[in-house]
């Protein structure tokens, strides 16, 4: 176990997050068990308890929002302590306990997206005429709380694990000397990216722009067809994949000026503007997939659908501008 200020603060954020998740889950269960009586009575009960849930989930979201970038700063703080064992950058740190790191890297943004949807659902509920969105929010609190609790537990386990003394390799080494395998920090397009990097960049830009244009088009429709909204969801998945590949294969080595250095972690921590660009990319793609889920939750609102589509499109285009300025 490596102990420094980042380890201590990460442990604190994990404990606070776990405590808030337990409280939010208990309040949600109590609210569900207490719902009874006429429709008006149910709505009043849900609204009264909803204020407490809103406070708890809001603080929980803020804590986990801070914990997300903090986790990567934590990994970066381990580099000097592990340099003697082959670590050259943050990617090398992720090769220690890779399963736990992978769970945390996926779990943090997914749970934040869920918490963000919880909040948007509450805002869109103002246009709803039934208690369904309120009930969906209450029920949704339980799996979100469980997910955050598990994620905080995994982070605490990772913090307590011994990391010193394990030989690792970094992304700059094309082959893993321990496993004699191609580095998994390269995309399936790596060969193409080396020969014609422009093709990878064009695919990335085209995918992102297509999502932004489609979202803008949907924002101008008062009630777009559900199939169009779900096709955009599929497009978002493809766009995010192309974005990841382009950042790993082309953006990282070009911006860092190291041809064989494909470390997006170091790219985000060492380049001030690309951190916000990554956040804008994720935020924009998540925003444009929320409207069809709001419809399922009974909170479809043309006003909020339009806002989400427009905000997402602006965020995606803004991230492209930032990346483009760094590439040229």
Q: Which token pair is 144?
A: 């979100």
Instruction: Based on the fold, state whether residues 168 and 224 are members of the same structural domain.
Output: no
Instruction: Based on the fold, state whether residues 77 and 147 are members of the same structural domain.
Output: yes
The residue out of 147, 163, 185 marking a domain boundary is: 185
The tally of domains found in the chain comes to 2
φ, ψ at 38 (rounded to 5°): -70, 170
Instruction: Based on the fold, state whether residues 109 and 36 are members of the same structural domain.
Output: yes
Instruction: Based on the fold, state whether residues 252 and 300 are members of the same structural domain.
Output: yes
Instruction: Based on the fold, state whether residues 149 and 216 are members of the same structural domain.
Output: no
Instruction: Based on the fold, state whether residues 308 and 231 are members of the same structural domain.
Output: yes
Instruction: Based on the fold, state whether residues 210 and 310 are members of the same structural domain.
Output: yes
Instruction: Give the global pTM.
Output: 0.84
Per-residue pLDDT of the chain (328 residues; tens, 9 = 90+): 889 999 999 999 999 999 999 999 999 998 887 755 445 466 666 667 778 888 999 999 999 999 999 999 999 999 898 888 878 888 888 888 889 999 999 999 999 999 999 999 988 877 666 678 888 888 999 999 999 999 999 999 999 998 887 767 665 544 444 443 444 455 555 555 545 678 888 999 999 999 999 999 999 987 788 899 999 999 999 999 999 989 988 888 888 887 777 778 888 877 888 989 999 999 999 999 999 999 898 887 888 899 999 999 999 999 999 999 988 8
Beta bridge partners of 175: 182
Burial class (CB in 10 A: 0-12, 13-18, 19+), 2: middle
Report the alpha-carbon distance of residue 318 to residue 307 in Å, rounded: 16
Asked if residues 82 and 168 have their Cβ atoms less than 8 Å apart, the reply is yes
Helix intervals (H) in 90-185: 90-94, 98-124, 132-160
Provide the residue range defining the domain that includes 321.
Answer: 186-328
Report the alpha-carbon distance of residue 100 to residue 92 in Å, rounded: 14
Instruction: Based on the fold, state whether residues 88 and 204 are members of the same structural domain.
Output: no
Instruction: Based on the fold, state whether residues 257 and 324 are members of the same structural domain.
Output: yes
CATH assignment at residue 13: 1.20.120
């Amino acid at each position: 176990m490596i102990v420094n200020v980042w380890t201590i603060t990460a442990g604190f954020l994990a404990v606070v997050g776990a405590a808030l998740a337990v409280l939010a889950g208990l309040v949600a269960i109590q609210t569900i068990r207490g719902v009874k009586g006429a429709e008006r009575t149910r709505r009043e009960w849900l609204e009264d308890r909803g204020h407490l849930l809103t406070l708890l989930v809001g603080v929980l979201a803020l804590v986990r929002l801070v914990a997300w970038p903090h986790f990567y700063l934590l990994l970066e703080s381990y580099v000097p302590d592990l340099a003697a064992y082959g670590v050259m950058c943050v990617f090398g740190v992720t090769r220690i306990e890779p399963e736990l790191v992978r769970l945390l890297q996926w779990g943090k943004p997914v749970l934040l997206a869920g918490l963000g949807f919880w909040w948007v659902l509450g805002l869109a509920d103002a246009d709803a005429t039934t208690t369904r969105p309120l009930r969906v929010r209450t029920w949704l609190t339980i799996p979100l709380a469980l997910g955050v609790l598990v994620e905080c537990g995994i982070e605490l386990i990772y913090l307590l694990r011994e990391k010193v003394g394990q030989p690792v390799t970094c992304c700059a080494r094309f082959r893993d000397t321990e496993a004699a395998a191609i580095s998994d920090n390269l995309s399936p397009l790596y060969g193409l990216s080396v020969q014609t990097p422009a093709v990878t960049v064009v695919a990335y830009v085209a995918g992102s722009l297509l999502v932004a244009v489609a979202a803008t088009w949907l924002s101008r429709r008062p009630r777009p067809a559900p199939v169009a909204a779900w096709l955009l969801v599929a497009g978002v998945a493809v766009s995010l994949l192309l974005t990841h590949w382009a950042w790993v294969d082309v953006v990282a080595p070009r911006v860092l000026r190291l041809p064989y250095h494909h470390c997006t972690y170091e790219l985000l921590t060492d380049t001030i503007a690309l951190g916000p660009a990554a956040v804008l990319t994720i935020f924009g793609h998540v925003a444009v997939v929320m409207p069809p889920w709001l419809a399922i939750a009974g909170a479809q609102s043309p006003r909020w659908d339009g806002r989400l589509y427009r905000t997402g499109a602006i965020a995606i285009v803004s991230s492209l501008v930032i990346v483009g300025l760094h590439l040229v």
